[in-house]
């Protein structure tokens, strides 16, 4: 009879998991965790049995880790260890459970040490640490996977920071990979080599093209000469300093609107202090990130994209023109307040308003006014 | 607040473009223009300001509140747009 025991109950923390659900992409992380535990279990076996040169037949095949349920109230997948009965010609059945439990404990100890900025190499080898390049890659800022959730003082939190720490703790690690979302212009594409080059502000990135994306990339290459860009999501490779060096894989590609807000704001990242007649302030990258996300979340696709310009005091001004209406939104960064002004150049009718772009209600007002003046129906 | 402009009586659009891009080392996509009388119709003073270079002038918005700066600026833009580009890069 197969034996099934409770093995691990990692707790997923973050807004995405609050509804008692686990996005499918996170299951890839759990799958990579299983691979690591298997390797560490094999390592523990060989350390305990120094007279053995190989792992016994069936050591891995007879064992599996499965999600058997999700605890109510939060996203805690219940992972059980199932061991099939020993079959075959061995006269000496092995209790894999001991080694798999040691493997689990080693992984938890390593993550706990990483969280406290302590050395991790006493718990896992360099080849084990390399697995963390995949485990936790889908976790976003503010999210974590608690491997020892029952211990509230030291839950062994795997998050973006501890994952990077663990990956780079391997002496041989040249860098790490991470999910990336980029906007840029395709400047080269090779059907023969299945690769392309993407020009993003300040950087040229090479990446592979998989068959399902070839047509879009070739189309983007043609349109790139007219300045039309693409949005690309995939896995990027970063060096030890955290600089993006290449794309490892491409997952999604789509053509950008010529007036794409995010692509235009990306151009402002190249501005440096003194950019305007020696006096201009460069808008902080974090504020450009915020503004890009704010437009994505709040600005209706039914509305025309604004023309965007940097201002000398580090902000961004958005402008629209429709018929006799000249409209501007002068956005302060940081601060995230904005001054709205709309003028009918024929009648001299104008109106002004101070907005707080941290408030959804002000974005709703903005959308309503723009729709009215620009003649857009939602 | 003052808007820097080139004096069209002292320089052609091509000369102004050359000065802006080669001497001042700035980037430009083209040139738009308004006349002194168009500025004065909006109660905006235009003055020669040769300190940076002889052909430099300013359209002066000093003393105006924010709403007036925005309104007059937008009207000038509208006038310039109606005239069309003098030069495009």
Which pLDDT tens digit goes with each residue over B8-29?
999 999 999 999 999 999 889 9
**Can you give the pLDDT at residue A378?**
76
CA dist A310 to A273, A274, A295, A355, B25, Å?
12, 13, 16, 18, 19
β-strand partners of A112: none
Among the partner-chain residues B66, B67, B74, the one whose CB lies closest to the CB of A345 is B74
DSSP state of A242: S
Of A177, A180, A165, A181, the closest CA to residue A134 belongs to A177
What parts of chain B have a pLDDT lower than 70? none
What parts of chain A have a pLDDT lower than 70? 1, 72-74, 84-94
- Report the CATH number of the A178-255 domain: 2.40.50.200
Of A245, A267, A270, A266, the closest CA to residue A178 belongs to A245
**Can you give the pLDDT at residue A73?**
57
The reply to whether residue B71 touches residue A328, judged by beta carbons under 8 angstroms, is: no
**Average of per-residue pLDDT values in chain B:** 95
Angle at A313 between CA A307 and CA A316, to 5 degrees: 20
User: Rounded distance, CA B6 to CA B20, Å?
Assistant: 9
The reply to whether residue A352 touches residue B75, judged by beta carbons under 8 angstroms, is: no
**Can you give the pLDDT at residue A1?**
66
Among the partner-chain residues A326, A345, A352, the one whose CB lies closest to the CB of B67 is A352
User: Rounded distance, CA A143 to CA A162, Å?
Assistant: 12
Domain boundaries, chain A: 3-173, 178-255, 261-374
The reply to whether residue A328 touches residue B74, judged by beta carbons under 8 angstroms, is: yes
Give the distance from residue A257's alpha carbon to the nearest chain B alpha carbon, in angstroms: 21
**Can you give the pLDDT at residue A217?**
96
Burial-class residue B51 by CB neighbours within 10 Å (0-12, 13-18, 19+).
Answer: exposed
Three-class SS state of A282: coil
Residue A282: phi, psi to the nearest 5? -80, 135
User: Rounded distance, CA A361 to CA A368, Å?
Assistant: 11
- Considering only alpha carbons, which residue of chain A is nearest residue B27? A276
Q: Which of B53, B56, B74, B80 to mutate to test the interface with A (most CBs of A within 10 A)?
A: B74
Tell me the pTM: 0.73
Give the distance from residue A326's alpha carbon to the nearest chain B alpha carbon, in angstroms: 6
CB-defined contacts A:B, below 8 A: 24
Among the partner-chain residues A326, A339, A348, the one whose CB lies closest to the CB of B77 is A326
What's the pLDDT tens digit per position in A252-301? 999 998 899 999 999 999 999 999 888 899 999 999 999 999 999 999 98
Q: Which residues of B touch A341 (CB under 8 A)?
A: 67, 70-71, 74
Q: In which order are the strands placed within the sheet that holds A76-83?
A: A3-8, A76-83, A63-71
- ipTM of this predicted structure: 0.90
Share of chain B above pLDDT 90, in %: 94
The DSSP H or E segment spanning A16 is none
- Considering only alpha carbons, which residue of chain A is nearest residue B70? A341
Q: Which residues of B touch A348 (CB under 8 A)?
A: 71
Tokens at A266, concatenated: 């990306």
């Amino acid at each position: 009879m197969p034996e099934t025991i409770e093995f691990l109950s990692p707790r997923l923390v973050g807004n995405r998991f609050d509804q008692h659900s686990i996005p499918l992409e996170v299951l890839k992380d759990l799958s990579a965790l299983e691979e690591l535990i298997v390797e560490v279990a094999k390592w523990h076996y060989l350390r305990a049995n120094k007279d053995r040169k190989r792992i016994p037949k069936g050591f891995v095949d007879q064992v599996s880790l499965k999600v058997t349920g999700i605890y109510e109230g939060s996203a805690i997948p219940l992972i059980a260890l199932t061991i099939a009965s020993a079959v075959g010609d061995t006269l000496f059945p092995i209790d894999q459970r001991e080694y798999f439990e040691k493997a689990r404990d080693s992984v938890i100890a390593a993550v706990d040490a990483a969280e406290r900025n302590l050395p991790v190499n006493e718990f896992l080898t360099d080849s084990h640490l390399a697995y963390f390049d995949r485990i936790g890659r889908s976790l976003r800022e503010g999210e974590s996977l608690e491997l020892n959730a029952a211990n509230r003082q030291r839950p062994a939190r795997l998050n973006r920071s501890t994952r990077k720490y663990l990956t780079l703790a391997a002496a041989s690690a040249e860098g790490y990979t991470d999910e990336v979302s980029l906007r840029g212009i395709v400047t080269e594409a090779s059907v023969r080599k299945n690769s392309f080059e993407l020009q993003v502000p300040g950087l040229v990135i090479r990446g592979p093209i998989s068959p399902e994306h070839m047509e879009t990339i070739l189309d983007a290459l043609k349109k790139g000469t007219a300045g039309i860009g693409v949005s690309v999501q995939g896995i990027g490779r970063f060096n030890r300093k955290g600089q993006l060096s290449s794309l490892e894989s491409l997952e999604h590609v789509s053509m950008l609107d010529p007036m794409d807000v995010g692509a235009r704001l990306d151009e402002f990242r190249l501005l440096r202090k003194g950019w305007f007649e020696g006096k201009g302030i460069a808008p902080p990258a974090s504020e450009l990130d915020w503004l890009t996300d704010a437009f994505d979340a709040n600005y209706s696709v039914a509305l025309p994209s604004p023309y965007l310009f940097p201002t000398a005091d580090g902000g961004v001004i958005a402008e629209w023109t429709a018929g006799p209406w000249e409209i501007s939104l002068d956005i302060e960064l940081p601060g995230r307040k904005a001054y709205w002004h709309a003028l009918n150049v024929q009648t001299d009718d104008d109106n002004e308003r101070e907005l707080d772009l941290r408030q959804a209600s002000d974005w709703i007002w903005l959308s309503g006014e723009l729709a009215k003046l620009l003649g857009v129906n939602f | 607040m003052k808007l820097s402009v080139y004096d069209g009586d002292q320089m052609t659009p091509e000369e102004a473009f050359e000065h802006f891009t080669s001497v001042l080392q700035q980037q430009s996509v083209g040139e738009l223009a308004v006349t002194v009388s168009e500025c004065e119709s909006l109660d905006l003073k235009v003055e020669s300001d040769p300190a940076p270079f002889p052909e430099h002038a300013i359209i002066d918005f000093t003393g105006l509140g924010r709403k007036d700066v925005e309104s007059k600026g937008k009207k000038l833009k509208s006038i310039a747009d109606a005239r069309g580009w003098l030069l495009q890069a």
